[in-house]
Homo-oligomer: A and B are copies of this chain.
Amino acid sequence: MSELKGACIFGQSGGPTSVINASAYGVIRAALDNPNITRVLGAEHGIKGVLNDRLFDMGQEDPAELELLKYTPSSALGSCRYKIADPDVDDTDYKRILEIFKKYDVRYFFYNGGNDSMDTCNKISKYMQKVGYECRVMGVPKTIDNDLFGTDHCPGFASAAKYIATSCMEVYQDARVYDTGMVCIIEIMGRHAGWLAGAAALATAYGAGPDLVYLPEVDFDMDRFLADVDRIYKEKGNCMVAVSEGIHYADGAFVSEAKTSATDGFGHAQLGGLASLLAEAVKQKTGAKVRGIELSLLQRCGAHLASETDIEESFMSGKAAVENAAAGITDKMVGFERSYEGDRYVCKTKLLNLTDVANTEKKVPLEWINEEHNGVKQEFISYALPLIQGEPKLPKQDSLPRFAKLKKVLVK
């Protein structure tokens, strides 16, 4: 393949994860070490940093601090949720990006994110091809939602899954200490795909998890839900429920947004989230003591519970993006392929067309959800379990996390 010398830009986009910085470190480290990449620039707040000419010179960072990125949650360079226009409708942003690329002789662009970010990446790649500016563009996957097309799984999912499963196991111990019983409802992220809510069932597989799990892949039925909870509560004296934030009724309306008897009949804004809403509905139905717990941001930044497998794979995906680009590849997203050597799980990178990945969602297969639509089957557990393995050696200072401290020196 042709040798291409020039600078690279790396950016982070979309909701952060516990390990997105491990991917960042994979890109940055490999780019700094690559003889064809003359300068490694980090974009502040993703593509916005390119548009605003806010670029950090990653070569000026202390190598030891850069390495700490492997264990530092969230997007160290800043993220964005910037929807780039269709270039046929409005090419203003693209012209500006080209201008910046030329200004710094950028020949490599690495973008780390989910569906929308891969769309951005794809559009930029196609634009550069169209205007004949030679630049190799690679997507690096990221999303706790695990919903990227064409890859076995996504960096970030496993660490969130491990956080969710572990937290469920702990709450399980707590939510049954009194002889008076309790119904505990745990709200988990995932607007359209139920991978994360399903991960709560890992706790159940190890003897201390939710009795019921509801995913957005199937329609939610409030009456059936209340009957399920009531039955288990009467049977066991306790009931634990994991629920995806994205569950919806048959008509498509999100349960979190719909009015039920549990919500304010005057239609005022409901301040509490889905967990509170369902807890209140259960309380009215069963009279049980209830508790709604929203895992909120904690589940996507809980680096102290990250999966070492996830960290290593995230790093690997970033590194693979650079190595492939340097070898002449462009217009791809790095994905994962799973295989087994005997019982041993093995993960290798593969390359996917950006066009195929952009804006496509991968959901939990319906055949992995049980007939009653209130749990997942063993196939799901077997899929998720290898991904959460391994304890990272998190650097600590006085028993608190020691996160990376970057200098973030802007290039002139």
> CB of A72 within 8 A of chain B?
yes
Q: What is the chain B residue whose CB lies nearest that of A263? A: B271
Give the distance in Å from the alpha carbon of A132 to the alpha carbon of B45 in the complex.
74
Flag if A162 contacts B270 (CB, 8 Å): no
Flag if A169 contacts B403 (CB, 8 Å): yes
Give the distance in Å from the alpha carbon of A179 to the alpha carbon of B47 in the complex.
12
| B178, B271, B400: the one within 8 Å of A277 (CB) | B271
Q: Least Cβ distance of A390 to chain B in Å?
A: 6
Which of A44, A265, A296 has the most B CB atoms < 10 Å from its CB? A296
Give the distance in Å from the alpha carbon of A51 to the alpha carbon of B263 in the complex.
41
> CB of A236 within 8 A of chain B?
no
Chain A interface residue count, Cβ-Cβ cutoff 8 angstroms: 75
Given A307-B399, A400-B166, A177 and B276 contact (CB-CB distance below 8 Å): no
> CB of A170 within 8 A of chain B?
yes
Interface string of A369-394 (1 = CB under 8 A from B): 00000000000000001001111000
| B78, B178, B207: the one within 8 Å of A80 (CB) | B178
Residues on the B chain within 8 Å of A405, using CB: 207
Count copies of this chain in the complex. 2
Given A170-B304, A173-B73, A301-B173, A293 and B293 contact (CB-CB distance below 8 Å): no
Flag if B302 contacts A296 (CB, 8 Å): no
Give the distance in Å from the alpha carbon of A272 to the alpha carbon of B403 in the complex.
32
Q: What is the chain B residue whose CB lies nearest that of A296? A: B293
| B174, B265, B300: the one within 8 Å of A300 (CB) | B174
> CB of A32 within 8 A of chain B?
no
Flag if B16 contacts A174 (CB, 8 Å): yes
Given A271-B272, A297-B171, A81 and B397 contact (CB-CB distance below 8 Å): no
Task: List A residues 227-272 near B (Cβ within 8 Å).
Answer: 262-266, 268-272
> CB of A202 within 8 A of chain B?
yes
Q: What is the chain B residue whose CB lies nearest that of A78? A: B177
Interface string of A172-205 (1 = CB under 8 A from B): 0111011100001000000000000000001100
Flag if A73 contacts B170 (CB, 8 Å): yes
Interface string of A294-323 (1 = CB under 8 A from B): 111110111111010000000000000000
